[in-house]
Amino acid sequence: MQLIDGKKISKEIKDELKEEVAVLKANGKEVCLAVVQVGNDPASSVYVNNKKKACAYIGIESESYELAEETTEEELLLLIDRLNKEEHVNGILVQLPLPAHIDEDKIIRAISPDKDVDGFHPVSVGRLWIGEKGFLSCTPAGIIQLLKRSGITIDGKECVIVGRSNIVGKPMAALLLRENGTVTVTHSHTNNLKDITKRADILIVAIGRKQFITADYVKEGAVVIDVGMHRDENNKLCGDVAFDEVAEHTSAITPVPGGVGPMTIAMLMNNCVETVRK
Ligand SMILES: NC(=O)C1=CN([C@@H]2O[C@H](COP(=O)(O)OP(=O)(O)OC[C@H]3O[C@@H](n4cnc5c(N)ncnc54)[C@H](OP(=O)(O)O)[C@@H]3O)[C@@H](O)[C@H]2O)C=CC1
Ligand SMILES: Nc1nc(=O)c2c([nH]1)NC[C@@H]1CN(c3ccc(C(=O)N[C@@H](CCC(=O)O)C(=O)O)cc3)C=[N+]21
């Protein structure tokens, strides 16, 4: 069994980006990411800080906008409009989830597609599905990099995704299809889920339920990618996959932490650099 080291692979990518940014800077080009957080949910604060740290490491400028929980939708839209127009801001990231009184879809659509480094705007999503160049959703793009850089072939493989969210499951399907995988997307209305997941050569799990995928869902020798992110009874991070019992049946598996999570941030950094690449 190969343990896929997302921490190591994300470091490789960040080091490549750091070199590229140094060259860009020598040519007078700066990269700047605006990070917007509404409210102070502690989990969101951890992610936002990790993103800012990654920017500092690579040499990307970051500007933080920490708004109060009571911020109105209109105020947030006004800020996004201003950031869209700011020439020195290359990328805009609005940390999700937003407070319930703000319409997330409306906010995502307000971000200029040219600065949509999360890849969540409908224009980015459309480009992804028709194979046009554009910003790729960071978590799925990170998973493709994990597979490729671990020497795992996608072409021709039976790929099964558990979960169909707009930020993970759906864009994952588009990317695996682009890599010539045969793709099945499952969700909460899927009948006989186990029969389908057991067909997978590559099983991608993004359900949002703690250690849901046990050994009986997995074919012997499959590759298992765990996107889930939870805290267990002892407050330790764990995923959607019951790692301890599943790992021995796989040919390769990602741990939580140290798997997909760090890759999401590396790909966000890549999207930021992409804004000034051409
Ligand atoms: N590491 C990282 O970088 C990231 C990690 N995450 C983590 O990944 C997990 C998933 O996130 P996200 O995609 O946003 O989650 P969502 O809650 O948006 O989506 C969950 C999906 O799983 C499906 N599902 C739920 N229960 C079942 C079930 N019993 N059987 C089959 N399918 C089921 C749902 O189906 P239906 O559509 O029918 O409701 C839905 O499509 C979370 O733990 C999240 O924290 C998320 C983003 C990035
Ligand atoms: N606009 C927006 N874009 C996002 O990309 C976005 C978001 N909102 N909201 C929340 C989810 C979740 N997400 C993660 C990023 C990094 C780790 C990560 O670095 N995880 C580390 C552990 C971090 C820790 O110690 O808690 C790991 O798995 O090793 C996890 C999850 C991005 N998301």
Is 164 annotated as belonging to a binding site?
A: yes
> 81 Cβ partners below 8 Å, 6+ apart?
110
Amino acid, res. 131: G
Residue 199 CA to ligand 1 center (angstroms) comes to 20
The amino acid occupying position 216 is: D
Instruction: Tell me what the mean pLDDT of segment 100-106 comes to.
Output: 98
Per the CATH hierarchy, to which homologous superfamily does domain 23-114 belong? Leucine Dehydrogenase, chain A, domain 1 (3.40.50.10860)
Q: Taking the model in full, what pTM does it have? A: 0.98
Peptide bond into 262 cis (omega under 30): no
Q: Which helix (H) or strand (E) holds 59?
A: none
Protein residue with least CA distance to atom 22, ligand 2: 257
Q: Distance (Å, rounded) from C-alpha 88 to C-alpha 113?
A: 16
- Active-site residues, by number, are 51, 95, 118
The beta-strand segments (E) located in 50-177 are 61-67, 91-94, 158-162
pLDDT number for residue 212: 98
Is 96 a pocket residue for ligand 2 (Cβ < 6 Å)?
yes
Give the per-residue pLDDT at 89.
Answer: 98
pLDDT at 214: 98
DSSP state of 247: G
CA distance readout (Å), 109 to 48, 90, 112: 21, 17, 8
Q: Is the pLDDT of residue 190 over 90?
A: yes
% of residues, the chain, pLDDT over 70: 100
pLDDT tens-digit readout, 111-146: 999 999 999 999 999 999 999 999 999 999 999 999
Place of tokens 């960071």: 138
- Mean pLDDT over 20-46 rounds to 96
Domain limits, the chain: 23-114, 138-261
DSSP-derived 3-state class of residue 203? strand
Asked if 23-114 and 138-261 have one fold, the answer is: yes
pLDDT at 101 over 80: yes
- Which ipTM score applies to this complex? 0.97
Weakest mean pLDDT among 19-23, 154-158, 160-164, 229-233? 229-233
Q: Lowest mean pLDDT of 11-20, 38-47, 71-80, name the range.
A: 38-47
Query: In testing the pocket of ligand 1, which one of 48, 120, 162, 207 has its CB within 8 Å of the most ligand atoms?
Result: 207
Please tell me the residue having the least CA distance from ligand 1 atom 8: 228
d(CA 191, CA 194): 9
What pLDDT score does 238 carry? 98
Average pLDDT, stretch 247-270? 98
| Cα(167) to centroid(ligand 1), Å | 9
Report, as an integer, the average pLDDT of 51-57: 97
| Ligand 2 within 6 A of CB of 94 | yes
99: DSSP letter: P
14 neighbors 264 (Cβ within 8 angstroms): no
165 is in an annotated binding site: yes
The preferred substitution site among 3, 5, 41, 47 for testing ligand 2, maximizing ligand atoms within 8 Å of CB, is: 47
Q: Domain spanning 138-261: which CATH class is it, in words?
A: alpha beta
Average pLDDT over residues 167-195: 98
pLDDT above 90: residue 278: no
Q: Which two tokens stand for residue 97?
A: 């989830």
Residue nearest to atom 1 of ligand 1 (CA): 261
Give me the pLDDT at residue 163, please. 98
Q: Is the CB of 163 under 6 A from ligand 1?
A: yes
Phi and psi at residue 25, to the nearest 5°: -65, -40
Q: What angle do CA 107, 110, 113 make, to 5 degrees?
A: 120
